[in-house]
Amino acid sequence: MAASQPLTLAEFFAQPRPLKLIVTDMDGTLTQRGKFTAALLSGLERLQAAGWPVIIVTGRSAGWVSGLIHYLPIAGAMAENGGVYFSAPSTAELLSPIPDLVHHRRQLGEVFAQIQHQWPDLQASQDNPWRQTDWTFDIGSRSPQDLKGLQVACQRLGWGFTYSTVQCHIYPLGQSKAAGVQKILPHHFPSLSATEVLTIGDSPNDESLFDPQVFPHSLGVANVLDYWERLAYRPAGVTASPAVEGFLEITERLLGHLPPAPIAATPRD
């Protein structure tokens, strides 16, 4: 088997996995054509009932994500690719060290204006006004070469760049989904380490969650294969089905083949 060949779910779960927490992406991983499904809600309810805490870690804005923790049976929700965390409604925790958010957003707007000179068709995303830490624009049908050019342009200006199936993100260096998860674990799940977390995703803005040195237990839903050659880190295993159907495959494995590992989110203070 080639080194980059992912495991099937059967192979993945045949190995010992001391899993206690599920960290999952949202768009393209929990959705079907951009929407939540009845089967997803049922799956999340069953995971919660069995004692599996689920944290959604997404690139979506703080404004959008603040509602998820209110409406879904989940333990937490992280917005802006590791920028802001919600353990309950109205409990936004800023995870990036940004002393002045007004100044920060002005800087992001200036960077976006600069790269618009080279790519004048860029359109700020619908959820951009509800962001705190990053700036987004619609990905549309941009080619891999175009995306690489945008990454280089942002790097030259001193900012990070990543993208998902829906958006491109300009963000402060050091911010990532993995860094965000590592920041919240000691506070919200003090008995857990990253080696007990199952990470799940589908696209380049999830690649930090696939770093085996940090998260040895990672899975991609089948649509992650669309990006396989572009990923710096790849998930250890991949589901047979894409998007939410792939997530539900994982759900069935967790519910049927591993003992539940109930652990409450217990803030330290």
Give me the residues that bind Mg ion (CB under 5 A), please: 25, 27-28, 164, 202-203
C-alpha span between 47 and 38 (Å, rounded):
14
Smallest gap from Cβ 244 to Mg ion, in A, equals 11
Contact 18, 262 (CB under 8 A): no
- Location of structure tokens 């920060």: 104
CB-wise, 162 or 164, nearer to Mg ion?
164
CB-wise, 86 or 163, nearer to Mg ion?
163
Closest CA to 122 of 109, 103, 105: 109
List, in sequence order, the alpha helices (H) in 78-173.
101-118, 144-156
Smallest gap from Cβ 107 to Mg ion, in A, equals 26
Smallest gap from Cβ 95 to Mg ion, in A, equals 19
CB-wise, 58 or 107, nearer to Mg ion?
58
C-alpha span between 209 and 219 (Å, rounded):
9
Smallest gap from Cβ 10 to Mg ion, in A, equals 24
**Collapsed DSSP state (helix, strand, coil) of residue 192:** coil
Contact 7, 236 (CB under 8 A): yes
Q: Which amino acid is at 161?
A: F
- Cα atoms in the Cβ-side hemisphere of radius 13 Å centred on 167: 22
CB-wise, 136 or 203, nearer to Mg ion?
203
Smallest gap from Cβ 75 to Mg ion, in A, equals 19
- Location of structure tokens 């997530």: 247
Smallest gap from Cβ 6 to Mg ion, in A, equals 17
C-alpha span between 132 and 236 (Å, rounded):
32
CB-wise, 28 or 107, nearer to Mg ion?
28
Using Cβ positions, the residue closest to Mg ion within the complex turns out to be 28
CB-wise, 250 or 265, nearer to Mg ion?
250
